[in-house]
Amino acid sequence: MTIVTLIFDLQAHSNVHCFFGLAPVFIIFRYSTVNLKYYIKLLIFLHLSLGCIRTSAQFHLAKRGSSESFEFTFIKNLIIIPLTINGKGPFNFVLDTGVGVFLITEPSLADSLQLGKLRSINISGFGETDTLKAFVSPHLDIKVNNSIGGNIPAAILEKDAFDLSSYTGIPIHGLLGYEFFNSFIIRINYEMRTIKVYKPETWYIPKKGHLVPITIEAGKPYMQSSIRMSGNGTIKARLVIDTGAGHPVSLESYRGQPIRVPSPNIEANLGVGLGGTISGKIARLEYLKVAKFELPNVIAAFPNFDDVGVKVSAKRSGNIGNAVFKRFHVVFDYGRGSLFLRPNSMYKEVFEHDLSGMELAYYAPDYTRLFIARIETGSAASEAGLRPEDEIIAINFKQIREMNIDEIYRLLHSRDGRSIALTVLPHGETKTSLIIMTLKRRI
């Protein structure tokens, strides 16, 4: 249930990518509760360093022509694309503007790809003894849709500490970000679930798209946004554009200082890092203004400043995720510092928090069994008597094996007061129970 973002000092227009530099390098661990909307970020240090890797670290069109299209899967507001590595696959990767290097989260790939002996690095948290080990490959042959190729470096985790597969219900093998977005002009159609890439020299400008200036720093895109919330007035927030985040907005700080959380709000388990759980609150913004587009009643996550305050930067306020961008036709042009937005049919959808209050997780190897991982106090699930580790067998008398995760996700976000029939196998028991849960809006 975790996504990891590596932030490296990438030189966007150089052939030398020092993605493990000689100075301390930051890594961000981003976790989402299984209501799948709120990611939180915890900075940790990468203590070991490697030399520069000389590579163009770029993708190119393998076929003639100036553009190429392919489909993606959209699960819990995450863009998932298939790709091959060194001729093997396909493997499922999250397309994530928030990641600065190609990252393999499934460690078994290192063996199946026969990468041989790789140099290792240790990853540890601030003042914590827990560590993770990762390996570095100087180059991998990556192909997307068999028509887009690249030879790029990668970091490979020794242990899958983030378990993205249980989060999405399908095997997830890693994250693809900066190298891909920096190679093309990229158009994302969230309605049709398609991506079209253009050679950067085409100067593709979408019709009716509204231009939003962006900057690319350490391999990540930033934008300015106006946010109004009760008790704080209107602030000018500098946000990371993060297609690897399923939530609308996460606000960590403002000018390096804590943000007063608007009322009403609810306590929430927002995340986890190497040092343990990160707590915080969830509240609504009066509006989020992106360029000329004003979105009302947006759900936002607010991590406790004591958990992340010393690690956040005064130069950024937080991030903005796919729960916002899915409402637009989106075009990224890193080379010209441009983002184009045009509203689509989802533009006016209401922002809604999970109404069940339970975190769900699939179990390997086939990801067909669904379990309750955590239950929030005072939630619909809590009031219905559900418990962690209970297995959900059916929802509204439809077997879990016959439902996809997005169908379940939409159902649990559907309507305050809606009654849902859950067939449950309580933990430690052999007989199923029928439980009626009434969805409850708490924010």
Q: Mapped to the 3 state alphabet, what secondary structure does 230-249 carry? A: CCCEEEEEEEEECCCCCCCE
Distance between CA atoms of residues 35 and 361, nearest Å: 10
For 163-215, what is each residue's pLDDT tens digit?
788 888 999 999 999 999 999 999 999 999 999 999 998 888 888 889 999 99
Q: Which helix (H) or strand (E) holds 122?
A: strand 119-124
pLDDT: which is higher, 305 or 369: 369
Q: Are 2-201 and 358-438 equal in CATH topology?
A: no
Residue 86's nearest CA partner among 37, 142, 8 is: 142
pTM equals 0.86
Which residue in this structure is represented by tokens 């809606």?
Answer: 418
Residue 12, pLDDT score: 33
* CA dihedral (207, 331, 74, 247) positive or negative: negative
Return the minimum-mean-pLDDT range out of 272-281, 324-333, 430-439.
272-281
Tokens of 415: 């309507």
Give me the phi and psi of 208, to 5 degrees please: 70, 5
* CA dihedral (387, 393, 399, 400) positive or negative: positive
- The verdict on domain 358-438 having CATH code 1.10.3720.10 is no
- β-pairing verdict for 194-198 and 185-189: antiparallel
Residue 394, pLDDT score: 97
Distance between CA atoms of residues 119 and 227, nearest Å: 44
Distance between CA atoms of residues 45 and 42, nearest Å: 10
Q: Which amino acid is at 360?
A: L
CATH superfamily placement of domain 210-343: Acid Proteases (2.40.70.10)
For 144-167, what is each residue's pLDDT tens digit?
998 999 999 998 988 876 778 888
What dotted CATH number matches 2-201? 2.40.70.10
pLDDT: which is higher, 22 or 67: 67
Confidence check: pLDDT of 22 > 50? no
CB 278 within 8 A of CB 40: yes
- β-pairing verdict for 16-17 and 53-54: antiparallel
What residue segments make up the domains of the chain, in order of their start?
2-201, 210-343, 358-438
pLDDT band at residue 253 under the 50/70/90 scheme: confident
Three-class SS of residue 285?
Answer: coil
Query: How far apart, in Å, are the Cα atoms of 218 and each of 45, 239, 376?
Result: 15, 14, 36
Confidence check: pLDDT of 87 > 80? yes
Query: How far apart, in Å, are the Cα atoms of 124 and each of 1, 133, 257?
Result: 19, 9, 25
